[in-house]
Structure 1
Amino acid sequence: MIYILYLALSNTLGFIMTNKQPTLLILAAGMASRYGSLKQVDSFGPSGETIIDYSIYDAIKAGFKKVSFIVKKDFHHEFKRIFDEKLAGKIETDYVFQDFDLTKFGIAQEIIRQKPWGTGHALISAKDQIDEPFCIINADDFYGYESFEKMYKFLSEEVTDENLALMGFEVNNTLSDHGKVSRGIFSVDEEGYMSEITERTKVYRDNGKMVFDEPEGTFPVPENSYASMNFWGFTPKVFQVGIEMFKNFAAENDQENGTNEFYIPSIAEEIIKSGKARFKVLPTSSTWFGVTYKEDKPIVQEKLSALVNAGVYPENLWF
């Protein structure tokens, strides 16, 4: 009787009653147009490791048992060649295809488009392969072990359909010295939850100050802002919200507006505004760095070598 009452109360509050292990979902289908080649599988570590390798290594250490790669179908075999053998026996691997087939989202209209639909579209592409709590990250960002440890703990102990999460990084620590970058800029309320988030596609330093460009002009990045870096903690319920939003987005961005993209922060913003859930901010002291431009590569290589020399990572992650 007590158990039935507890179960009913838990369902009322939206708790996820599951023993399923959380999954790591990696955004790896980008075109890398600013980098000039497929940076997702480029070598950065001293033994030829990709940035993805370090993320997976830290995720395994934190407790994750499964990783799913969101890739273009054309690159599927290349990813399998690079990752499957060395990850065998260490973590389960799976692949999600991000493509231009919109019928899977209930969209009958054919929309011819050259550029990918964006990270939000990549996220909902995993709707048929993930039915457990999961986190999603960028393939070309280094987050550090602490980030995966905190996210795994949250997804294992705290996540519900109404209580989601994202990692919080200081904006100034996420910018490139070689050009403008896209960042989800957000603020935190007194309870430690994200209050709002906006995707800024052109964030950079100008004379020592953080700014972002919009069609209307250049504006300062608000003080005490955080950058999301696309490290989110979700439940499968996010797919429902994302698909409905994407249907409207696709209808408004057909051939004539074929360069606009549908971003994950837009989904998060809708979830917050509609009162469906809140996002707990998991602040991290992990050192973040990433690669947007080719000029970023030697910097990333230098930082990874320093971590290896300091004993944080072995010289060869997998052997």
Structure 2
Amino acid sequence: MKKPTLLILAAGMASRYGSMKQIDGFGPNGETIIDYSIYDAIKAGFGKVTFIIREEFLDSFKGIFDPKLAGKVETDYVFQTFDLKKYGISEEIERAKPWGTGHAVLEASKQINEPFCVINADDYYGYEAFKNMADFLTTEAEANKYSIVGYKIGNTLSENGSVSRGVCNTDANGNMSEINERTKVYAKDGGIVYEEDGIESPLEATTPVSMNFWGFTPDVFKVTEELFVDFVAKNAESPKAEFFIPLIADHLIQNNIATFKVIPTDAKWFGVTYKEDKEIVQNNINKLVEDGVYPTKLW
């Protein structure tokens, strides 16, 4: 059986962080967060890494990752662009940035022919999540049978501001029944709340949330393209509208086209949303190295 592919979303501009956090150094020898994800993915059984980037990032990415990954895992690069003609859309739409994470995944449709998972470049997920996802992709995944890693929301907050989280509801079979994007989640008075239209609502610390760690087969590309074309038509006059992966998942679930198994994990997520998060991430990685989870020199 062909090994699954790791698809890394790395085309964002990191406006709140202030620089290209995808290639910022956090480990003892300047390792990026992506390095730790790739290290865990190789160990878990992934056979290829595909980076989704902007074309202007290519030289930087190849210079950082190709030398260290040569002979360890196959690497591939996909550009997220503004070109809509490839999807049969003739209209030219002016935008400051591309169309979001769902669009980014769609851009890889011509280069992925095996089960694959999608992650963010700036999030640390932990080996357990990669192993569980690899097992799912090699033994359970099939057309319209997908998955998502569900992190406990209490393990995913930033100390430096609110975060956006996709809150997952599950059915009796452990499959996701719906996902609701909460764009302003934060700790308050010993608990966790999300704010919407100025109203705060509580969330249990064990509530499963999406950290954009999805498992698919290539069958997802066809329906994704159909949804994207429709989304562009409806949002041509909305320059900030984004086609997110949860929109795809919600459509598949609500129309009984696909199921998404929620793969639970107790792992503590950490990542960089704000510049102030860097020191926290560095401390977390140093602790993992001290505990022997990773070697001091990763590659």
TM-score, with normalisation over the residues of structure 2? Answer: 0.96
Is 1:78 aligned with 2:60?
A: yes
Q: Which residue matches 2:37?
A: 55
2:182 aligned residue (157, 181, 200): 200
Q: What is aligned with 2:88?
A: 106
Q: Larger C-alpha radius of gyration, 1 or 2?
A: 1
2:295 aligned with 1:314, yes or no?
yes
Find the aligned partners of 2:168 and 2:18 in 1 and give their Cα distance: 29
Per-residue displacement from partner, 1:133-153 (whole Å, max 9, x unpaired)? Answer: 100000011011111100001
Q: 1:260 aligns with which of 231, 238, 241?
A: 241
Where in structure 2 are the equivalents of 1:1-319 lying within 5 Å? 19-214=1-196, 216-223=197-204, 224-254=206-236, 256-318=237-299
Query: Aligned to 2:51, what secondary structure does the other structure show?
Result: strand
Unmatched segments (≥5 aa) in structure 1: 1-18
The whole-number CA distance in structure 2 between the counterparts of 1:46 and 1:212 is 35
Give, in whole Å, the separation in 2 of the partners of 1:89 and 1:139.
22
Give the partner amino acid of 2:94. Answer: I
CA drift at 1:191 = 1.1
Letter of the structure 1 residue corresponding to residue 292 of structure 2:
G
- 1: CA distance between counterparts of 2:99 and 2:277? 25
Query: Deviation at 1:243?
Result: 1.2
Whether contact under 8 Å (2:144, 2:220) holds in the other structure is: no
Q: Is the 8 A contact 1:199 1:266 kept in 2?
A: no
Shift of 1:222: 4.1
Contact 2:165/2:211 (8 A) holds in 1: yes
Aligned residues: 298
Rounded to whole Å, the distance in 2 between the matches of 1:162 and 1:111 is 32
1:107: Cα distance to partner?
A: 1.2
Instruction: Measure, in 1, the Cα distance between the counterparts of 2:233 and 2:187.
Output: 35
Give, in whole Å, the separation in 2 of the partners of 1:118 and 1:277. Answer: 22
On the 8 A contact 1:26/1:70 being kept in 2, the answer is yes
Cα distance per residue 1:103-131 (max 9 Å; x no partner): 11221111010033111111111111111
Structure 2 gap segments, 5+ residues each: none
Return closer, same or farther for 1:213/1:262 CA change in 2, 3 Å cut-off: farther
SS of the residue 1:127 aligns to: coil
SS of structure 2 residue aligned to 1:175? coil
Contact map agreement 1:59 1:149 (CA 8 A) in 2: yes
Cα offsets for 1:285-316 (capped at 9, x unmatched): 22311110000000000010001001110001
> For 2:203 and 2:273, how far apart are their aligned partners in 1?
23
Q: Deviations along 1:40-98, whole A, 9 cap, x unmatched?
A: 00000011000000000000001111000000001011100000010000000000110
Q: Give the stretch that moved more between structures: 261-270 or 220-229.
A: 220-229
Separation (CA, whole Å) in 2 of partners of 1:203 and 1:252: 28
Residues 194 and 203, structure 2, Cα contact 8 Å, conserved in 1: no
Deviation for aligned residue 1:221: 4.6
Q: Which residue of 2 aligns with 1:11?
A: none
C-alpha separation in 2, matches of 1:275 and 1:86 = 43
CA distance in 2, matches of 1:31, 1:182: 17
CA contact (8 A) 1:209 1:220 kept: no
In structure 1, C-alpha distance between the alignment counterparts of 2:255 and 2:203, rounded to whole Å: 24
